[in-house]
Chain A
Amino acid sequence: MQWEIVIGLEVHAQLSTNSKIFSGASTTFGAEPNTQACAVDLALPGVLPVLNRGAVERAIRFGLAVGAHIAQRSEFSRKNYFYPDLPKGYQISQFDLPIIGQGSLTIQVPTTTAGKTYKKVVRLTRAHLEEDAGKSLHEDFQGMTGIDLNRAGTPLLEIVSEPDMRSAAEAVSYAKMLHTLVRWIGICDGNMQEGSFRCDANVSVRRPGAELGTRREIKNLNSFRFLQQAIEYEAQWQIDTLEDGGTIHQATVLFNSDKGETRAMRSKEDAHDYRYFPDPDLLPLAIDNELIEQIRGTLPELPLSKQARYVTDLGLSDYDADTLTSSREMADFFETTLNEVPKEAKLCANWLMGDVSASLNREDRDITQCPISPQQLGGMLKRIADGTISNSAAKEVFKILWSEGGDPDTIIETKGLKQMSDIGAMEAMVDEIIAANPTQVAEYRSGKEKVFGFFVGLAMKASKGKANPAQMNEILKRKLAG
């Protein structure tokens, strides 16, 4: 019998504000411990929180990007628990009335067939604002734990999905799409190593059509690879447990990336009773239409809309459209390049996803650090499109652009890379070749068509690689036919 895996994700995206959600301390990553923990972050006696407008605006931006309901009135609550990296003994979060209500996200899920994907809509339950906790450093300080509160009070948007995903691949596609989106709309830097984008996965299994099974929550997955591995391991563990006649108990588990295993946390879950209540220090948050419309006006075209446009208007494949919208910078690069050669979308896509991406990967750079500008690339592609240079000559131009820069046309000129388009000159070359190689000509004419390659080689060599291959082929065929 089959098992169905059911996955819902909770993603914590750190919002890219300058200051913290309730204080004026800096959010810059990597500062010396506790140098960015101000009186409010430290929960000194008598301090009070004041909400950061930047965090609210970013949450609204997200809500608009996923077509969600934006609450005209939301509320901050206190989630009470003791932990040394939680200075107030409570986390300010949103409970009953979150700022963002239901929305949805369309994802492209890769299949086992390379280049083939399918679309799926994942429903979002809600997204709410909350503050991050500090960090506990367990390196040995005479058997003690060190507490760094620089991160305490960093704004987070917790994005909660419905349990709509049915495989680790779907969960990863969803997480990646969300990761793309939050960077796309400029609300989160998406840096997973620094913890700016963290996933918790709720995993359960069931027989198809049955009620939802008991879920276990895998906490703090900070890479897509770990997300995939952790879900796969956890789902298999649950299936094995159930097939062995065991039962699943609700639990919070951690993923050990070294062992590739999940294990339940040692701390007692049943002791948790968060005693949520509305924070008396913070008044209800009202958001009016004016603010929503003002933010809507600054929202860029979203990846989904671009993807659809690339497929319908530009004739690109789903795969190409998906890849070109993997980040806003990539899409911008593509569109700027396309501006130079408006009719050559496929050519632009091929070069961007081919030579440009390969070169970037080789040097471990991203598209924003590309040494060739979209204008330069477009200028070169224009010359491929109008037949001025061949593809192989273009690779030569690309190399020079990459390492030395410059203007494509000047490079083509000075390096003599122009294609030969003088039919008469090419015919003369072919006549000469035919005259010099009577044996091979005879073989060809007797039906040994393999020899054709030999003539192409000679012809290209004679033209020093500048002949337009299509034209040269056509002339060769005509002349060899006799």
Chain B
Amino acid sequence: MSLSINDVYKVARLARLGMSEQEAQTAHDQLSNIFGLIAEMQAVDTNGIAPMSHAQDITQRLRKDVVTELNQREQFQAAAPQAKNGLYLVPQVIE
């Protein structure tokens, strides 16, 4: 599978990474090399092998349904780029 420059733009857009033409070209060259490295994997026969998502073969522990967190809005919003009346502000969202 070879990577096209359009793929680079599409992926950059999905990942919300702004990219100039020159950056996209550089990214294209480097990503193509990396996918060359990754391609080695394709030849392996993995029929019947279960995918491994976790380093441990254990199951989910559950939490008790109790409220443990108190309001820390002031502390948390101290780090906000823009906040007003307790709300985080962003450029207008259009549906």
Contacts and interface: CB of A to CB of B under 8 A. Distances in A.
Determine the interface band of chain A, counting residues with CB < 8 A from chain B.
35 or more
A17 B92 contact: no
Contact of A283 (B58, B65, B71, B84): B58
A19 B67 contact: yes
A321 interface: no
Interface residues of B, number: 36
Interface in B49-86: 53-54, 56, 58-69, 71-73, 76-77, 82, 84-86
B63 A52 contact: yes
Contacts of A254: 95
B85 to A, nearest CB: 7
A145 B56 CA distance: 42
Contacts, number: 128
A20 to B, nearest CB: 9
A285 B91 CA distance: 38
Nearest to B91: A144
B87 A137 contact: yes
Contacts of A18: 65-67
Given A271-B13, A280-B53, A143 B67 contact: no
Interface string B11-43: 001101000000000000000000000000000
B93 A145 contact: yes
A44 B80 CA distance: 11
A44 B76 contact: yes
B89 interface: yes
Contacts of A145: 89-93
Nearest to A279: B53
Given A34-B86, A35-B86, A275-B14, A136 B93 contact: yes
Contacts of B85: 33, 141, 146
Given A38-B69, A42-B76, A141 B63 contact: no
By CB atoms of chain A within 10 A, which of B14, B56, B65, B86 has the most? B65
A283 B76 contact: no
B94 interface: yes
Nearest to A84: B90
Contacts of A51: 60-63
Contacts of A141: 84-85, 87, 89
Contacts of B65: 17-19, 52-55
A189 to B, nearest CB: 15
Contacts of A146: 84-85, 87-89
Given A138-B93, A147-B88, A82 B16 contact: yes
Interface of A: 17-19, 23-26, 32-40, 42, 44, 50-56, 73, 82-84, 136-138, 141, 143-149, 254, 265-267, 271, 273, 275, 278, 280, 282-286
The 4 closest A-B CB pairs, nearest first, are A54-B65, A24-B68, A146-B87, A38-B69
